[in-house]
Amino acid sequence: MIFPSSIRSFLLLASFVVVAATVSVDIEARKPDPCAAIAGQKWVAPSALRACFTSVKVDPVIKDNIVQVINKTLAFHTSVNYEFKAPQPFTADVHEDLLGDLARISKQSYPSDYDLHIDFSRTLKRLNDGHCVWINACYVTLFLNFLPTPLALLTDVSGAQSVHIAPEAFQVASAEFPDQIDVWQNALPGPLKGKLESLSGAKVLLINGQDPFVAVNANALITGSFQALGTRQNSFFSSYQRASTGWNYVMGNFAQQSLPLSDSVTLTIVRTGHILPEVVVLPYRARVGSATVPFTDTASWRANNCVAIDGTNGVNLFGSSSIPSSTNIPVVKFKQQPDIPAPVERKQHVNVMLDTSPPSDVVLPPTLVPALPSLNGSASVTQFYMLKDGKTGVMALGSFSDSDFNTFLIGMLTGLQSLKSLGATQLIVDVSNNGGGFICAAHWLHRIIVGPKSTTVPQSGLDTKARDGPLAMLIVDQIVNNNADPNNELLYNPTNWPDANNVFFPPTDNWLQPPVLTTINGRADAFSQRLGEECPANQFPVPPPATALFDGKKVVIVSNGRCASSCSLFSVTMNKEEGSPTVVLGGKKDVQQQYCGTVGGQSTDFSTIDTEIKSTGLKNNSLAPPDLLVNGVQGITWRLGFGVVDPTQPEEWQPRPATLNLPITADIINNPVAIWEIVTKKLLS
Ligand SMILES: *[C@@H]1O[C@H](CO)[C@@H](O)[C@H](O)[C@H]1NC(C)=O
Ligand SMILES: *[C@@H]1O[C@H](CO)[C@@H](O)[C@H](O)[C@H]1NC(C)=O
Ligand SMILES: *[C@@H]1O[C@H](CO)[C@@H](O)[C@H](O)[C@H]1NC(C)=O
């Protein structure tokens, strides 16, 4: 609906100008439009982008609308009161008074709408929960802010760790930014001019005149997504991921920002083969986002990129309005998974992280891409390889979702069986940057690896609970007592969920009653009864094998710690129930590395909840969030998984220490095969 709304805004603007004409239009008209200055450009200076962003004042109506949408959607988020003060070992990491901060934001004034956005975004990010994130596509990823020098934390022969410009930095940057690399080449001082390549691998002594970990830790405070400090530190550095189209390179938060936060960086470096430190200043450059709708000035930027679009809000499934296809839904581009067609996602519930960085499309340099042949079963985000030792199989799994659920699950089985037929007796599962996906795919993978046993039959996932907010209870009332969902299309329909004994509720069972009253951090809360398994064997495309494919203790799960949601469901149950060792690549050695985070149980978002509300005729209820006016997304944890070690408490804030924090040396950084060979030597030989 871009065309009509832009006309509407144009008319609004035009009438505003007429009304305001007598006061300031003469001066205003001569002041150049800061958004026209960046319009139509592929690359801009971050300061020019900020000048555009900060030129728009806060509209109190829109501000209140966002506060109301977030606040009322949070009534469906399971973790609000837990996140007020998380238990150990995450107390220092998660302690956010969300409702208090929303009240503060309501009263506070801001120099611009951009400043207000940053406060909303960072307030939610302080939860360090990748499911519960506020994203406004008006600002986030309109442009991405880049440096050509991604960083790596490397360990030397003596075991000392230091920050380096990634050895592959120039290869990555020259391939990804062919139209901008000269700007950086020419920015280098004196004799270094044109020699950007010679910076690759350089040791970084100082960032902006301070120890590099000052910058690493400052970023860890605002990056969000993961409970553990170690994981948020790792977000600063580059890493790799198996994506649906190939092997991708993740630049890290130093070299890629989703907002124009920095204009330049001053690095004090020692280049490879040199002794004396040198100082270089590199400008950040902002590149227009792939999903940005073209604009020519402030009015068209706002109209094309900042107002609610199809899919921002929910729909009444039983009304006359058309239902948007899932790939058009704004939330999709921030989900850390490949696109899933709408009918598949309706049937297969997901648990997936949202991130302000879109999934990376920067490619891993060819010299680092695994050169081993991909085996049968390999497709999209799943690749199978046999290491040269002839006994270690590798499954690289960059996501728990795929465009087709059945093909995805059958591919997993085919791949593991072909590894076995080639003689594999042990397995590495590399889940670097796996942000989750289908819940039942995580159950399936665990089940087929270790075979049928008490930990996998009838279920290999975690029990969960939903939150019994007052509006949620009214939705279920409508479904159960007023037949408001005759064809079982809604999330809250009882027939979707089994009780703690894994028996599915009948259509008339009010599964939110009676509420389980719980006091968390001194605050009264209420949840559903304990829920069991919703991935029974008859839901899988083929029967799972009758025997184990691998001994769980011979399955090593490898990542940079950035394994979330369904990836966490898989890793947690494999580690804590089957004794599978876990590896985190290259984390700071004096910081406890956790092998995954943002566990959740099932994730969803405002738009989906709004569909539940509208379809059950409750949009007029005072507890219902209003329709969102801006191009925003609010994610939530809708069901929260119970722990393995303490099954009475959520898994979310229980410890998940890595078996091994693998030191990363210059010769193996971002080289998956070299890493898998070392992991084999250390944990599997
Ligand atoms: C948020 O909602 C709560 C009820 O859950 C209400 O008490 C509070 O005033 C609301 N906060 C704001 C800022 O609207
Ligand atoms: C891979 O698939 C082909 C074709 O179906 C088959 O001939 C071959 O034996 C399979 N290889 C393995 C290792 O399973
Ligand atoms: C909501 O209220 C409006 C006006 O009060 C009314 O026209 C509309 O029918 C109501 N909608 C529902 C779903 O009850």
Rounded alpha-carbon distances, angstroms, from residue 641 to 180, 637, 653: 46, 10, 11
Q: Are 253 and 235 in contact (CB under 8 A)?
A: yes
Q: How confident is the model at residue 325 (pLDDT cuts 50, 70, 90)?
A: low
pLDDT in tens, 174-198: 999 999 999 999 999 999 999 999 9
Taken in order 436, 168, 590, 258, is the CA torsion positive or negative? negative
pLDDT in tens, 51-93: 999 999 999 999 999 999 999 999 999 999 999 999 999 999 9
- Ligand 3 centre and the CA of 619: distance in Å? 8
pLDDT in tens, 231-241: 999 999 999 99
Q: What domains can you pick out in the chain, each with its CATH number?
A: 146-288 (no CATH), 382-451+544-597+656-684 (3.90.226.10), 465-537 (no CATH)
The distance in angstroms from the start CA to the end CA of the chain is: 59
> Does the pLDDT at position 98 exceed 90?
yes
Question: Does ligand 2 have an atom closer than 6 angstroms to the CB of 508?
Answer: no
Question: Does ligand 3 have an atom closer than 6 angstroms to the CB of 318?
Answer: no
> Does the pLDDT at position 16 exceed 60?
no
- Nearest alpha carbon, ligand 3 atom 5: 620
Q: How confident is the model at residue 432 (pLDDT cuts 50, 70, 90)?
A: very high
> Does the pLDDT at position 28 exceed 60?
no
pLDDT value of position 335: 73
Among 386, 412, 418, say which to mutate for ligand 2: greatest number of ligand atoms within 8 Å of CB. 418
Nearest to 114 by CA among 466, 563, 578, 630: 630
Kindly report whether the peptide bond that precedes residue 34 is cis, defined as omega within 30 degrees of 0: no
Nearest to 286 by CA among 142, 147, 145: 145
pTM for the structure as a whole? 0.94
Q: How confident is the model at residue 486 (pLDDT cuts 50, 70, 90)?
A: very high
- Ligand 2 centre and the CA of 576: distance in Å? 34
> Does the pLDDT at position 288 exceed 50?
yes
- Nearest alpha carbon, ligand 3 atom 2: 620
Q: Which atom of ligand 3 is nearest to the CA of 618?
A: 13
- Ligand 1 centre and the CA of 442: distance in Å? 36
| Average pLDDT of the chain to the nearest whole number | 93
- Nearest alpha carbon, ligand 1 atom 11: 103
pLDDT value of position 344: 72
> Does the pLDDT at position 24 exceed 60?
no
Q: Which helix (H) or strand (E) holds 214?
A: helix 212-222
Q: How confident is the model at residue 538 (pLDDT cuts 50, 70, 90)?
A: confident
565: tokens are: 């949601």
Task: Determine what percent of the chain is predicted with pLDDT higher than 70.
Answer: 93
pLDDT in tens, 620-663: 999 999 999 999 999 999 999 999 999 999 999 999 999 999 99
Question: Does ligand 3 have an atom closer than 6 angstroms to the CB of 501?
Answer: no
Among 318, 620, 621, 622, say which to mutate for ligand 3: greatest number of ligand atoms within 8 Å of CB. 620
Q: Which atom of ligand 1 is nearest to the CA of 103?
A: 13
Q: Which atom of ligand 3 is nearest to the CA of 617?
A: 13
Q: Are 430 and 408 in contact (CB under 8 A)?
A: no
518 vs 527: CA distance, rounded Å: 7
pLDDT value of position 13: 39
Task: Determine what percent of the chain is predicted with pLDDT higher than 90.
Answer: 87
98 vs 119: CA distance, rounded Å: 12
pLDDT in tens, 141-180: 899 999 999 999 999 999 999 999 999 999 999 999 999 9
Looking at 327-331, 445-449, 577-581, 676-680, which range is the least confident one? 327-331
> Does the pLDDT at position 318 exceed 80?
yes
Q: Which atom of ligand 1 is nearest to the CA of 71?
A: 1
pLDDT value of position 31: 82
What letter would DSSP give residue 494? G
Nearest to 237 by CA among 260, 261, 213, 221: 213
Question: Mean per-residue pLDDT for 200-207?
Answer: 98
pLDDT value of position 334: 76
pLDDT value of position 329: 61
> Does the pLDDT at position 339 exceed 80?
no
Rounded alpha-carbon distances, angstroms, from residue 261 to 76, 206, 353, 602: 32, 19, 23, 32
- Ligand 1 centre and the CA of 99: distance in Å? 7
pLDDT value of position 326: 53
Question: Does ligand 3 have an atom closer than 6 angstroms to the CB of 617?
Answer: yes
Question: Mean per-residue pLDDT for 516-522?
Answer: 98
- Ligand 1 centre and the CA of 624: distance in Å? 12
Which protein residues touch ligand 1 with a CB less than 6 Å away?
Answer: 67, 71, 75, 99, 102-103, 106
Among 72, 99, 107, 622, say which to mutate for ligand 1: greatest number of ligand atoms within 8 Å of CB. 99
Question: Mean per-residue pLDDT for 16-41?
Answer: 66
Q: Which atom of ligand 3 is nearest to the CA of 614?
A: 13
Measured from the Cβ of residue 237, the count of other Cβ atoms closer than 10 Å reads 28
Q: Are 105 and 116 in contact (CB under 8 A)?
A: yes
- Nearest alpha carbon, ligand 3 atom 8: 620
Question: Does ligand 3 have an atom closer than 6 angstroms to the CB of 618?
Answer: no
pLDDT in tens, 373-427: 999 999 999 999 999 999 999 999 999 999 899 999 999 999 999 999 999 999 9
> Does the pLDDT at position 346 exceed 80?
no
Question: Mean per-residue pLDDT for 197-224?
Answer: 98
Looking at 39-53, 310-324, 458-472, 478-492, which range is the least confident one? 310-324
Q: Which atom of ligand 1 is nearest to the CA of 75?
A: 5
CA angle 242, 246, 251 (to 5 degrees): 65
Q: Which phi-psi region, left, alpha or beta, contains residue 194 (left: φ > 0; alpha: ψ -120 to 50)?
A: left
Ligand nearest to the CA of 422: 2
> Does the pLDDT at position 120 exceed 80?
yes
Ligand nearest to the CA of 619: 3
Q: Are 121 and 257 in contact (CB under 8 A)?
A: no
DSSP secondary structure string for all residues of 274-320: --S-EEEEEE-EEEE-TTPPP-SSHHHHHHHHTB--TTTS---TTSS
- Ligand 1 centre and the CA of 427: distance in Å? 50
- Nearest alpha carbon, ligand 3 atom 4: 620
